Structure formats: structure tokens, C-alpha cells
Amino acid sequence: METEHWLRTELYFGIGPLDDVSAAAHQQRWREFLDREITPRFPDGLTIYDVHGQWRASGRSEIQHERSKEVMLIYRDTAQHRADIEAIRAAWKKLSGDESVLRVTQPAEVAF
């Protein structure tokens, strides 16, 4: 299989404050989002990590600590895949009210 023109993208989604007592509700919302928005766009596979993150909103001095999900996608570099990733990011921001979904993309050499 040809391994050229593949990308690896990591997306970071904040799913709720570390000290939030409604963590189960946040997990359920995440699972529904994954099933509705991400899996249909990348049905061949993906990897999800539970992570904790911190960030500071623009114009604020306090640091936010959050439960987060990192989604790693490895895919052929196509316009459709790039559009799908941006649609996922926009959908999460709309659903969650978050300011951003961090995206890190780099070339990937893959073999199956």
C-alpha cells in the first residue's frame, strides 16, 4: 500500500473541569458527539486518549484545568478529510461553547 500523502492529526477536546461533580454527564455528551460527528467521518479507525489539560482563555489570568479527550486520526491527505476535521472542530465548539479545539497536524509515514 502506498504510504505517501498521509497525515496525522491530533484534536484536543475539553470535556469538563477536573473538579466537576457532573463528570458522568460530560462523558455521555462526549460519547454521543463521538458517535454522531467523528466516527461517521472517520469510520476506518481512530484512537482516543483520556488526558488532563490546562489552558488560559484569552483575556483572562486564571488557568483552567480540564478533563480532556485527545483524538488521533491518521488519514490520506484529501480535501474531504481536511473539511471533515474542520467540521468536527466547529461542531464541538457549537455544542460545548468552547473557544477552541486544538488541532495539531503533521505528515505521517504509515504502513499496514
Is the pLDDT at 22 greater than 80? The verdict is no
CATH class, 6-108 region: alpha beta
Helix or strand run (H / E) with residue 12 = strand 6-17
Provide the percentage of residues in the chain whose pLDDT is more than 70. 97
pLDDT for residue 104 = 98
Q: What is the pLDDT of residues 31-42, one digit of tens each?
A: 999 999 999 999
pLDDT for residue 3 = 60
| Integer Cα distance of 110 and 6 in angstroms | 7
Q: What is the pLDDT of residues 48-91, one digit of tens each?
A: 999 998 888 778 888 988 899 999 999 999 999 999 999 999 99
Q: Kind of pairing, strands 47-55 and 64-76?
A: antiparallel
Cβ(91)–Cβ(97) below 8 Å: no
| Integer Cα distance of 107 and 60 in angstroms | 34
Confidence of residue 1 (pLDDT cuts 50, 70, 90): low
Q: What is the 3-state secondary structure (H, E, C) of 40-69?
A: CCCCCCCEEEEEEEEECCCCCCCCEEEEEE
